[in-house]
Structure 1
Amino acid sequence: MGKLKKTKIMKKLIFINFMFLVLFPILCSSQQTNLEQKAVKYLCENLGKIDNDLLNKRIYFNGNIIRKTSNIYNVANCNDEINLIKNEIPIEKEKELDSIANHNLERQYESKKIVFDCNSFSKKRRLFTEYYYMRVYNFIEYDNKYSVEINISGKKGRSVEIIIVNFDKSSKDVSHCYKHLIYD
């Protein structure tokens, strides 16, 4: 009888240690994913306001955040500070954007998972169904705002929806900008 109690206690201790090892990194990273999670929630709540066509697309998102930071050139292009299509980037602006991009390259990011509950996004893929894939990038700090880039692209990658969700540092204002790019 004594050995049976010891094995039950050992099993409980192993289970508690295992749960601690699994839950501790999730709880620690939840604070880091705060802005990305807010951006996905904002997108989910305002999908029709951003573009009505997005409501008709099947968007697949598994909850993983890309390890890269948001592209500073996409953020500046979306905010109409530069024009990537016409390749209109002033030299001073290019130097500023390059320095911000280099600064963000030095920061290391883990692959993070966010929890979301949105009927517009599918967590599972089905056979013979065309999906648009959503990618969420880590936030960057630019122009006194935090910006999160979200890309939605088709399977063939011929068109990309770029949505930048901006969080103002000084207040709780949230805004977005949207660009639809078609590649030939």
Structure 2
Amino acid sequence: MIGKRLNLSKKTILIVFIIFKVGSLHSQSFPSPESKAVVYLCENILKVDPNLTKHKIKFMSRTTGRPSKVYDIANCISDINVLKDSIPNEQFLDSLENYHKTNTSLNEQKGIDTNCEFFKRRIGFFTKNFFAMSVYNAIQYKDSYFVEIFLVNEKMGMYKIIAIEFNEQGSVVSHCLKTIIYD
């Protein structure tokens, strides 16, 4: 009797293991929009901003765990102009921003694997001229999905917002770049 139970429990464990393994393989087969955005930046860095190749970029291989900022996306694609305080659709943007902040599925950190030579997890202590990169989670804005990549260089007093646009099928449609000098 004990042998049959032991054999049955081994079979049960094997079946559970196979189900979890197949489930995890299935979930890994589709890269997230955030991963696609980082790969797109890596592969098209000369097209996005050739000046970025002159600097080291510190990236911790994960998202911030917060959704992309609606105002940054709208400013980048020229729906609004933050510098001129021209925001004709402020009520719409506020409601969209609040929705994205309260939607818990958009507020989780995601790991991003990349083999990009431009991105470094560690930068030397005395290296002062580098960009720190943050990747925000994808949001829907109008009829597209966007991932915001935020780069800041405190020594130069500059930050860059790169918004990568995706269509419904998850393919990159375009990108935009806004550079702000604040010092």
Q: TM-score range by the shorter chain?
A: 0.7 to 0.9
Q: State which of 94, 100, 104 in structure 2 corresponds to 1:104.
A: 100
- 1:12-23 correspondence runs (5 A): none
Q: Distance in 2 between matches of 1:71 and 1:59?
A: 21
| 2:66 aligned counterpart, secondary structure | strand
1:95 maps onto 2:107 in alignment: no
| 2:151 aligned counterpart, secondary structure | strand
Q: Runs in 1 of length 4+ with deviation above 6 angstroms?
A: 26-29
CA deviations 1:58-117 (Å, max 9, x no partner) are: 101010200111010010000011000111111xx1111111111101112222211111
Amino acid at match of 2:50: N
CA deviations 1:26-51 (Å, max 9, x no partner) are: 87975796100000000001111111
Q: Distance in 2 between matches of 1:102 and 1:149?
A: 17
The match for 2:10 is none
% identity of equivalent residues: 38
* TM-score (structure 2 length as normaliser): 0.79
Indicate how the Cα distance of structure 1 residues 59 and 72 shifts in structure 2: closer, same or farther if over 3 A, else same. Answer: same
* TM-score (structure 1 length as normaliser): 0.79
Indicate how the Cα distance of structure 1 residues 179 and 132 shifts in structure 2: closer, same or farther if over 3 A, else same. Answer: same
Contact 2:66/2:108, CA 8 A, preserved across alignment: no
Indicate how the Cα distance of structure 1 residues 105 and 164 shifts in structure 2: closer, same or farther if over 3 A, else same. Answer: same
Indicate how the Cα distance of structure 1 residues 61 and 170 shifts in structure 2: closer, same or farther if over 3 A, else same. Answer: closer
Q: What's the C-alpha RMSD, in Å, of the aligned pairs?
A: 2.7
Q: State which of 62, 65, 69 in structure 1 corresponds to 2:63.
A: 65
| 2:87 aligned counterpart, secondary structure | coil
Deviates more, 1:44-53 or 1:107-116: 107-116
1:158 maps onto 2:157 in alignment: yes
Amino acid at match of 2:175: H
The match for 2:6 is none
Superposition deviation, residue 174 in structure 1 = 2.2
Indicate how the Cα distance of structure 1 residues 64 and 157 shifts in structure 2: closer, same or farther if over 3 A, else same. Answer: farther
Indicate how the Cα distance of structure 1 residues 89 and 44 shifts in structure 2: closer, same or farther if over 3 A, else same. Answer: same
Q: Distance in 1 between matches of 2:121 and 2:70?
A: 28
Task: Count matched residues.
Answer: 163
Amino acid at match of 1:95: Q
Amino acid at match of 1:135: S
Amino acid at match of 2:150: N
Indicate how the Cα distance of structure 1 residues 137 and 104 shifts in structure 2: closer, same or farther if over 3 A, else same. Answer: same
Structure 2 residue ranges without an equivalent (≥5): 1-16
